[in-house]
């Protein structure tokens, strides 16, 4: 299929491109490079042998997006582009609603102009909010507690209403749990532009000496070791879930929603232990107070994705930790350490073709 990928130069997008191109799909990326890098796209090209086109554009620029989509004529869209920092979303609500909600509407207009009615959307487990029961299944009530979570919920609703109005439309809402790790090559990975808020990118910077120590946000939760429990999923497993959703989208219409996790919860201390094993030494850790807004534990019920998409996660936490360390140790400054490597960065819009 020909797949338009918004936000393809980011963390999850770049890993998904590797899997898409590996399965013979063709891709056209639209990314503002606000939090992604054209170097990631060059490296995707080096890892694969497929057709990858890239355009620097903001998804809110409907005219530009329409021109790109019309020229590429996609069979489907995977929509990763968005802002994703929970704390920042509370401080900058207008930007978050604008990019995540208005940006999604802009994309839908461009899709209509290009005659494309299939979309896979990056949603988040954060739409569930405080758990009424665990593991969360897709029928759990939606009560997001942050602006970021609200933007995801709104975009889900808009896409669901759109599918209801158009009998030919297909919408796959994928609710990701906690993506971590990197491609086994260490060529692509997560590249936070600011101080990381999330556990594993922060811990990775502790291991390279860029941060002094990890502060565990509370060890007095009602969990087996007192620290927070999450459903961490290897980013390569998550990327493959998109390929599975794309395959299903080719044969169905309407809106469907899937949890994408492993179904297994892991505590902060267990993740620190796994990452210390990967690095080969103990890492400096202290315990601080709880982080406001955090919940004690969350886990996904992923049985629907297993049944309907034929997909389930393959990797465990040691694989996640090892691959993260391969990436982080080779790229301690992320893609900024590879400035000058990029061909795509030299032109605002580029077509990247494989070597013969
Ligand atoms: P990321 O920031 O690495 O990637 C997002 C990409 O979108 C970046 O390359 C960025 O430059 C681009 N972008 C941002 N605003 C844009 C705009 N206005 N126009 C065009 N491009 C724009 O994030 P990620 O971790 O790869 O996340 C991808 C998607 O998955 C996001 O929608 C995010 O909300 C969602 N998600 C992520 C997580 C996570 O933990 N990483 C969890 C759940 C859901
Ligand atoms: C956060 C977001 C969530 C988003 C998810 C993506 C919040 C409140 N929620 O979730 O919306 O979908 O990232 O992966 O930000 N921890 C520490 N020390 C740290 C960092 C984290 O102890 O320096 C702990 C946290 O308290 C938590 C666990 O590690 O128990 C995971 O935290 P994090 O990686 O930030 O993810 P979430 O809180 O699940």
d(CA 66, CA 168): 20
> What residue segments make up the domains of the chain, in order of their start?
2-351
Write down the mean pLDDT value for the chain. 94
User: How many whole angstroms from 181 Cα to the centroid of ligand 2?
Assistant: 15
Q: What is the number of other CB atoms lying within 10 angstroms of the CB of residue 134?
A: 18
d(CA 251, CA 332): 43
Q: Is the CB of 189 under 6 A from ligand 1?
A: no
Ligand 1: which atom is nearest the Cα of residue 99?
18
Q: Is the CB of 145 under 6 A from ligand 2?
A: no
The answer to whether residue 51 scores a pLDDT higher than 60 is yes
Q: What is the DSSP letter of 334?
A: G
What the block records as the tokens of 295 is: 């919940």
User: How many whole angstroms from 19 Cα to the centroid of ligand 2?
Assistant: 26
User: How many whole angstroms from 53 Cα to the centroid of ligand 1?
Assistant: 18
Write 191-200 long-range contacts (CB < 8 A, 24+). Answer: 191/11, 191/37, 191/40, 191/331, 191/334, 191/335, 191/336, 192/334, 193/35, 197/85, 197/86, 197/87, 199/230, 199/268, 199/271, 200/232, 200/271, 200/275, 200/320, 200/324
Model confidence pLDDT, tens digit, residues 7-49: 999 999 999 999 999 999 999 999 999 999 999 999 999 999 8
Catalytic residue among 148, 221, 315, 335: 148
Nearest CA residue ID for atom 38, ligand 2: 294
pTM for this predicted structure? 0.96
Of 3, 29, 42, 13, the residue nearest 349 (C-alpha): 29
Backbone angles phi, psi at 233, to 5 degrees: -130, 135
Is residue 148 part of the annotated active site? The answer reads yes
Model confidence pLDDT, tens digit, residues 222-241: 999 999 999 999 999 999 99
Residues 6+ apart with CB under 8 A from 272: 203, 214, 216, 283, 285
Model confidence pLDDT, tens digit, residues 125-157: 999 999 999 999 999 999 999 999 999 999 999
Burial (0-12, 13-18, 19+ Cβ within 10 Å), 133: exposed
- Is domain 2-351 given the CATH code 3.40.50.10140 in the classification? no
The answer to whether residue 104 scores a pLDDT higher than 80 is yes
Q: Is the CB of 84 under 6 A from ligand 1?
A: yes
The pLDDT value recorded for residue 342 is 58
């Amino acid at each position: 299929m020909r797949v338009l990928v918004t936000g393809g130069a980011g963390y999850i997008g770049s890993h998904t491109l590797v899997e898409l191109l590996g399965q013979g799909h063709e891709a056209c990326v639209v990314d503002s490079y606000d939090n992604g890098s054209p170097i990631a796209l060059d490296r995707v090209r080096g890892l694969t042998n497929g057709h990858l086109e890239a355009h620097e554009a903001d998804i809110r620029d409907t005219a530009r997006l329409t021109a790109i989509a019309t020229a590429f004529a996609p069979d489907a869209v995977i929509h990763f582009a968005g802002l994703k920092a929970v704390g920042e979303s509370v401080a900058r609500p207008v930007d978050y609603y604008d990019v995540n909600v208005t940006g999604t509407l802009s994309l839908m207009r461009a899709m209509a102009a290009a005659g494309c009615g299939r979309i896979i959307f990056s949603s988040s487990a954060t739409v569930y909010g405080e758990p009424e029961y665990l593991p969360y299944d897709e029928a759990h009530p939606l009560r997001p507690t942050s602006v970021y979570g609200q933007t995801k919920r709104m975009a889900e609703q808009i896409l669901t209403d759109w599918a209801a109005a158009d009998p030919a439309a297909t919408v796959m809402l994928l609710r990701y749990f906690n993506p971590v790790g990197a491609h086994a090559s260490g060529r692509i990975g997560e590249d936070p532009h600011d101080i990381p808020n999330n556990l594993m990118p922060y811990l990775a910077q502790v291991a390279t000496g860029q941060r002094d120590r990890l502060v565990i946000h509370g060890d007095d939760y009602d969990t087996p070791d007192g620290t927070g429990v999450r459903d961490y999923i290897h980013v390569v497993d998550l990327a493959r879930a998109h390929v599975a959703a794309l395959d299903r989208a080719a044969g169905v219409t309407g809106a469907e929603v899937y949890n994408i996790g492993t179904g297994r919860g892991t505590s902060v201390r267990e993740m620190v232990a796994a990452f210390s094993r990967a690095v080969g030494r103990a890492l400096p850790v202290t315990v601080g107070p709880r982080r406001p807004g955090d919940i004690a534990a969350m886990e996904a019920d992923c049985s629907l994705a297993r049944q309907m998409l034929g997909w389930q996660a393959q990797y465990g936490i040691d694989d996640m930790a090892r691959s993260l360390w391969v990436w982080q140790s080779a790229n301690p400054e992320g893609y900024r350490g590879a400035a000058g490597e990029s061909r795509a960065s030299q032109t605002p819009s580029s077509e990247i073709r494989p070597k013969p």
